[in-house]
Amino acid sequence: MIVETLSAIADLPIVRDIVGTDSKPLANRRVVITGASSGIGAAAAIQIAEAGGTPILVARSLDKLTEVKETIEAAGGTAFVYSCDVTDAESVTNLVATLVAEHESIDMLVNNAGRSIRRSLALSHDRFHDFERTMALNYFGAVRLIMELLPHMRQHGFGHIVNISSIGVQTNTPRFAAYVASKSALDAFSRVAASEVHGDGVTFTTIHMPLVRTPMIAPTSMYDAFPTLSPDEAGEMVLRALVKRPKEIGTPIGTLGELTYTLVPGVVDRILNKAYDVFPDSHAAQGVTPISDEAGKPSSRTKAIAKASIALTDQPLSRGAKRMVRLLPGIHW
């Protein structure tokens, strides 16, 4: 009876906060991670498990989630996988009901699932769906999951929510109007929500993530020449957000961009307009596709030509562009 009582006390959120160890700072924490099948989400999940936490992996594809789960378990950790489309209200409601039923508590949430669109406004007049689909996933999907989990976290007296935002919110990078707007909306929601639930033990961290080499940036071939973080380095930022729980994590370049725009917004507009001129739209954004054969499928020769064309001519970087990339690393140009 005494042992059971002590065990129950040790698992209380406030006790776990005080007791944690340096080697396992997330011991007994159950952490939901969306977009956990690859990239930042998968890397963060592995690091969370190494820190003693139990990652709860969420994405649409169970196959890829299972691979991440097996990697974690092979290293001696524990993980769970759940399929969910966070843009679908019923899917999110069912997910949270299942999580609450199957786990003693859900302590933390990492809103990592996201969609990026790099396209100038000049090419977007007939593509309003670009703005709708980025908002559907990056903003409404994240908010829907937060709202479903908040009552549970408030009831338990503890919760920490990490939102993966973007350095673009701080630097207002051209060609990212749809993406930056969706991330800015989530930032604003989190600032307001944090003030309302602070007394209930629920806190928020916003990570203004710089450019990371993930499948999401692959369509923009010029990023091959850009300095980027690796998924593991980005995962370390997520881990720090969960362990230290600061209000914000970012980079010096992002902070500089935010401060400069506050002080001299007109100057920043002129500089970014120059950047807009030197960093072109990608072939994908322009709607350029390989020529298909009579059956509607690109031939091998067409594929080879298209691949070479992209490698040689898609988004060629001028000297000015290369200097800007080196001077301001991490920004999504």
Catalytic residue numbers? 179
CA atoms within 13 A on the CB side of 229: 23
Structure tokens at 162: 């990490």
CA atoms within 13 A on the CB side of 87: 12
**Tally of CB atoms within 10 A around 265:** 11
**Tally of CB atoms within 10 A around 134:** 24
CA dihedral 75, 49, 140, 167 (to 10 degrees): -100
Residue of 245, 41, 201 lying closest to 105 (CA atoms): 201
Structure tokens at 138: 């990056």
Residues 57 and 81 sit within 8 Å (Cβ to Cβ): yes
Residue of 192, 95, 191, 197 lying closest to 153 (CA atoms): 197
Strand partners, 34: 58
Cα–Cα distance, 218 to 100 (Å, whole number): 36
Cα–Cα distance, 101 to 124 (Å, whole number): 44
Task: Give the amino acid at 200.
Answer: D
